[in-house]
């Protein structure tokens, strides 16, 4: 038996001892339904891999002990084996079954986390626009008419819909204890759904390595009762300065800033991009208008722009 095989259980035992003293991994300590769904999926994947590894190592040890070299003569020749078709079919089918199982689990999980969190019924989600710039996060609350930088507040027991986009390079919005990751891009709006079942402060960050300021793109989300959230929003609206276009442009150019609050949002003078569905609808709309103009080149309908505005 090789030294590598003998040393592997020792290494595994040492890793278990070291990791037992660490804090629980955030992704395995969920505080919301979508994060819990992802956590269960991770555990299912880990359990599947452990079973596969256990079977492989049991077979390996069995083969090494049962078929190890014996004290045969130098002229010994083992008998010819033609193969075993049943075993060949078995070890071909098993990986296919494993991959199919994990694929189904992944598809179901993706469907669940891409929609409103389970158990919230017809509750209206709180919409928050989370836009990134180098190297900060802007959180705009259109319903409350306020905006924050590098921190956000959300109510517990209410679905939250973050609408993501970027003013610079592609970033990835990630709050490990509340939801998975989703890219924020410059030309298209993406959405991530989450909810917090427990009050507390939750760490978030940009998980996409995109430059020297990557490490600074961290933020904090405070989950609190609906009453406390409403009071916080009222306080920001009453006490903080308005966000002007000039001030916002300065923020975009600033490299790293701390936490800031404003009593208005940049959405008033800087509209976010459309989501994928709206982009496809607009593309079809433009194609249909081009077709009409080719059919009748003398017709110029000045209401086209109004129609597009209504689509947005």
Q: Which sequence spans correspond to the domains of the chain? A: 126-268
Structure tokens, 91: 């070890």
pLDDT of residue 74: 74
pLDDT of residue 164: 97
The verdict on domain 126-268 having CATH code 2.60.40.420 is: yes
Other Cβ atoms closer than 10 A to 150: 20
Low-confidence residues of the chain: pLDDT under 50: 1, 17-22, 295-312
pLDDT of residue 11: 55
pLDDT of residue 82: 79
pLDDT of residue 303: 45
pLDDT of residue 120: 83
Per residue in 64-103, pLDDT (tens digit) is 888 777 766 777 777 787 788 898 999 899 999 999 999 9
pLDDT of residue 291: 62
**205 - beta bridge partners?**
174, 218
* Half-sphere CA count of 121, side-chain side, radius 13 A: 3
Structure tokens, 191: 């959405």
pLDDT of residue 28: 92
Contact between 41 and 109 under an 8 Å Cβ cutoff? The reply is: yes
pLDDT of residue 126: 97
> From its phi and psi, is residue 181 left (phi > 0), alpha (psi between -120 and 50) or beta?
beta
pLDDT of residue 98: 96
């Amino acid at each position: 038996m090789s030294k590598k095989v003998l040393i592997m259980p020792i290494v595994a035992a040492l890793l278990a001892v070291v990791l037992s003293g660490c804090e629980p991994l955030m992704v395995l300590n969920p505080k919301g339904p979508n994060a819990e769904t992802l956590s269960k999926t991770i555990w299912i994947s880990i359990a599947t891999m452990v079973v596969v590894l256990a079977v492989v190592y049991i077979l390996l040890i069995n083969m090494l002990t049962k078929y190890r070299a014996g004290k045969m003569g130098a002229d010994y020749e083992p008998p010819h084996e033609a193969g075993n078709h049943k075993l060949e079919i078995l070890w071909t089918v098993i990986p296919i079954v494993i991959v199919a199982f994990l694929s189904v689990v992944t598809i179901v999980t993706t469907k669940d986390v891409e929609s409103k969190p389970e158990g919230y019924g017809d509750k209206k989600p709180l919409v928050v626009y989370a836009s990134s710039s180098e190297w900060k996060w802007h959180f705009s609350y259109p319903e409350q008419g306020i905006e924050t930088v590098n921190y956000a507040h959300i109510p517990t027991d209410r679905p939250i819909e973050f609408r993501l986009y970027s003013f610079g390079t592609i970033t990835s919005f990630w709050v490990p204890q509340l939801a998975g990751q989703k890219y924020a891009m410059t030309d298209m709006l993406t959405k991530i759904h989450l909810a917090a079942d427990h009050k507390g402060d939750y760490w978030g960050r940009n998980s996409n390595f995109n430059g020297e300021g990557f490490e600074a793109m961290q933020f904090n989300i405070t989950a609190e009762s609906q009453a406390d959230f409403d009071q916080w929003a009222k306080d920001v609206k009453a006490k903080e300065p308005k966000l002007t276009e000039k001030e916002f442009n300065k923020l975009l150019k600033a490299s790293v800033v701390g936490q800031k609050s404003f009593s208005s949002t940049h959405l008033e003078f800087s509209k976010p991009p459309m989501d994928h569905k709206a982009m496809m609808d607009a593309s079809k709309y433009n194609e249909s208008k081009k077709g009409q103009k080719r059919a009748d080149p003398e017709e110029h309908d000045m209401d086209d722009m109004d129609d597009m505005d209504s689509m947005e």
